Structures are given as C-alpha cells and as structure tokens.
Chains A and B, each alone.
Chain A
Amino acid sequence: DGGITQSPKYLFRKEGQNVTLSCEQNLNHDAMYWYRQDPGQGLRLIYYSQIVNDFQKGDIAEGYSVSREKKESFPLTVTSAQKNPTAFYLCASQKLAGLYNEQFFGPGTRLTVL
C-alpha cells in the first residue's frame, strides 16, 4: 500500500527528554513537511525538506530538529528546549511537479509531556 506512516500514534515523554517522531513515505514524493496542531487551532509549519540532505525552518522551528538522509524518511526530534511540546504532530509529503501542489498527510502522532 502506498502512503505515509507515522509512528508511534501516541507518545508520552518526561520533561527534559528528547523524543523522535518517525515519518516514512513510499509515494516517491520529493518534499516532506512537519506541522504542529494544538487543540482548536490550524496547522503550523515546523520544518520542511524539498530534497535529500537539505531542509528549511518553518514558522515555529525553535526546539525542534530534523534530518533528511533518505528520500523516504523525515524524522522530527522534539528537544528539551521546546517549552510546550504537548501537541498533535502531522507529517505530510508532496510531489514537486508543475502546478500540482497537493500535500498528503500521515495519521499523526499525539505527544504528551508528563
């Protein structure tokens, strides 16, 4: 099955710990994105990557880090520097071709800091 997978679905972390969220896609998409969603709010862009070994900060990158060593994978690390990490995290991917801009989303990871 082609698609985007995120794991785990639920994640609990103690304050002061780093945690890494997984995102994998087998759609052969060029670009990948990480968003944060807080209750009752829209999507805020954390980081994005359009090619392997390159990524750009989004609107709320502080306290987060990413890597793009493979086209299929774009893991997000939530560091202890992120002041309020409890949120729903969404990964998306996109084929960069012509006028078509659709992003396709994974099922999300809900992170709770205890």
Chain B
Amino acid sequence: GQQLNQSPQSMFIQEGEDVSMNCTSSSIFNTWLWYKQDPGEGPVLLIALYKAGELTSNGRLTAQFGITRKDSFLNISASIPSDVGIYFCAGPSAGGTSYGKLTFGQGTILTVHP
C-alpha cells in the first residue's frame, strides 16, 4: 500500500528558530493535509493543499504541495513554546473501496526550548 515518509522524526529547537519538515510518497497524491497533535489531544487540521505547486499560509505556518505531487513541506517561522507537539502529514489512500481513507506519515515530534 501507499506509504508516507515524514522527516525528521524529531526536532529540538530554541524558541524563535524556524522549523522545516517534509513528507514524501512513492506515489502521486492529489491532496496533502498537515495536522498538529497537542499532547493528550486529537490531531487538528492546520493546512490543506489541493493543487501541485500550491503554497498556503496559516499564520506562522506555510505549507507547499510539491510540483511532482509526491511531496509536501511544512515550515514554521519564529517558533514559540506552544508549537510543541506532533506534526503529521496525510494524503488520500488509493481509490476504489479506499475512497475517503487517509494515509498518515509517522509524525515529527517538535520540542521547543524557551
């Protein structure tokens, strides 16, 4: 089945630094989703991307849909302590009976030191 490889697995940064993470797939995706999960909570959708090359921002977050449609990137600028959590990428699984299912990356654990 489809797999999403997300990197890095974890990041330890100082408050104020910028963060970059990415997600790659062996197959083409027509949608890329980025979620954030706070400790002990459910994931929350941050950004959704629907077109190759699309660049979308949400406050200090910027995500891009790779031109090859096999990758996506998430950047966080000027990190703050509340950015701590796990960031997941996701994309729709193959069609047919899998319609609606999402494939998730393994997650990037972000730790921000004050």
Contact = CB atoms under 8 A, between A and B. Distances in A.
Interface of A: 4, 6, 30-31, 33, 40-43, 45, 48, 50, 56, 88, 90, 92, 94, 96, 99-108, 110
Contact of B31 (A43, A50, A88, A99): A99
Contacts of A108: 40-42
B44 interface: yes
Interface residues of B, number: 26
Interface stretch (B52-60, B61-69, B76-84, B104-112): B104-112
A59 to B, nearest CB: 9
A48 B101 contact: yes
B45 A104 contact: yes
Contact of B106 (A4, A31, A42, A56): A42
Contact of A56 (B42, B45, B97, B102): B97
Nearest to B91: A101
Contact of B100 (A4, A40, A90, A96): A96
Contact of B104 (A40, A43, A48, A106): A43
Contacts, number: 60
| Interface residue SS majority, chain A | strand
Contacts of A110: 40
A106 B106 CA distance: 19
Of all A-B residue pairs in the complex, the 6 with the closest CB atoms, nearest first, are A105-B42, A42-B106, A101-B92, A43-B104, A31-B100, A105-B43
Nearest to A97: B100
Nearest to A95: B100
Given A101-B33, A102-B45, 15 more contacts: A42-B107, A43-B88, A43-B104, A50-B100, A56-B97, A88-B40, A96-B100, A99-B31, A101-B91, A101-B92, A102-B48, A103-B45, A103-B90, A105-B44, A108-B41
Contacts of A105: 35, 42-44
Nearest to A90: B42
A90 B43 contact: yes
